[in-house]
Amino acid sequence: MRSFSRLALLLPIGVFLAAADAPPADIVARRGDVQLTTSDLRDALTRVDPAVRDQVLANPQTVSEFVKDRMIRQILLKEALTAKWEQNPDVIARANEARDTAILQSWLASHAQIDPAYPSQADLEAAYEANKARFAVPPQFHVAQIAFLMPANATKEADEEAHKKAKEIRGQLAKPKANFADIAKTSSQDVGSAPNGGDLGWLREDQLLKPVRDALAGLSENGISEPFRVKDAWHIVKLLGSRPQSTLPLDQVKPNLVAALRQNRAQQATNAYLEELLRKEPLQVNDIGLAARLADPK
């Protein structure tokens, strides 16, 4: 299934039928009497999260996938409506529930309006300092590897043979002017990294298995480890570079921090509204034997 299949299903329902006055140049996609126009798509995108909208509009391919998925949705919906599927009692109940939920969420949102200027720079700085530990970045390592893969049920002989091969390659790497990347390209069995000379890129310490961390701990920059076993492979790793633990600067985390603070402020406003609502007239619930009564269909 294409990457936007689930996304399209989250968008508002609506069938777009071919209209006589629709300019042909404005029609983005068509199948029979079902069509999508530029304005249809713009309208749909206005009702989704801005981050999702940015994802859709990121490049021509994602836009095309979105249009195709949106069209499939409309085609299926037209078939269902033609079959009067909306008259199914279960569908009616689900539709009413969805309608009530939309009304409720919009009503609560109207009572949780936030000052557009919030948070201020002072608010951001205070929140950043209070949560600085959450923005810590573990030590990072730029790693290259040569791997000799082993099946999960490998025999002792097969394991020993792979280990022997790894030691032979390690011996080649110890020779003057030996090129790790070239040897990795021809010897490593990891199809993902071998074409790149074994380069795995920058990895955080918490992304590495303990045997790998232990192997890297004893290396200086450009150092090469002895062969070691990790799960279903023998590995040789080279440390291309390292970075100490650091903390992301405020400017880098600002967008996420702003969103979190505004969401928290909105939740506080919603909670205050609900508390005041219940203070004026508290709930009364008769929960004596309620579970048994709910379980009994009579």
Q: In this predicted structure, what is the pLDDT of residue 5?
A: 44
Gap between the terminal Cα atoms of the chain = 44
Share of the chain above pLDDT 70, in %: 91
- C-alpha–C-alpha distance, residues 180 and 186, integer Å: 10
Q: In this predicted structure, what is the pLDDT of residue 25?
A: 62
Q: In this predicted structure, what is the pLDDT of residue 298?
A: 61
Residue 100: Cβ-neighbour burial (10 angstroms; 0-12, 13-18, 19+):
exposed
Question: Average pLDDT in the 115-122 region?
Answer: 95
pLDDT in tens, 261-285: 999 999 999 999 999 999 999 998 8
Query: Does the bond joining 23 to the residue before it have cis omega, within 30 degrees of 0?
Result: no
Q: With a cut of 90, say whether residue 51 has pLDDT above it.
A: no
The residue with greater pLDDT, 240 or 61, is 240
Angle at 90 between CA 86 and CA 91, to 5 degrees: 30
Show the domains of the chain with their CATH numbers. Answer: 5-86 (no CATH), 139-244 (3.10.50.40)
Q: In this predicted structure, what is the pLDDT of residue 13?
A: 37
Q: Which residues contact 44 (CB under 8 A, 6 or more apart)?
A: 11, 12, 70
- C-alpha–C-alpha distance, residues 274 and 8, integer Å: 33
Q: Crossing angle of helices 180-187/156-173, nearest 10°? A: 150
Instruction: Kindly indicate the confidence band of residue 286, based on its pLDDT and cuts at 50, 70 and 90.
Output: confident
Q: With a cut of 50, say whether residue 10 has pLDDT above it.
A: no
Kindly report which listed range (4-13, 60-69, 82-91, 158-167) carries the lowest average pLDDT score. 4-13
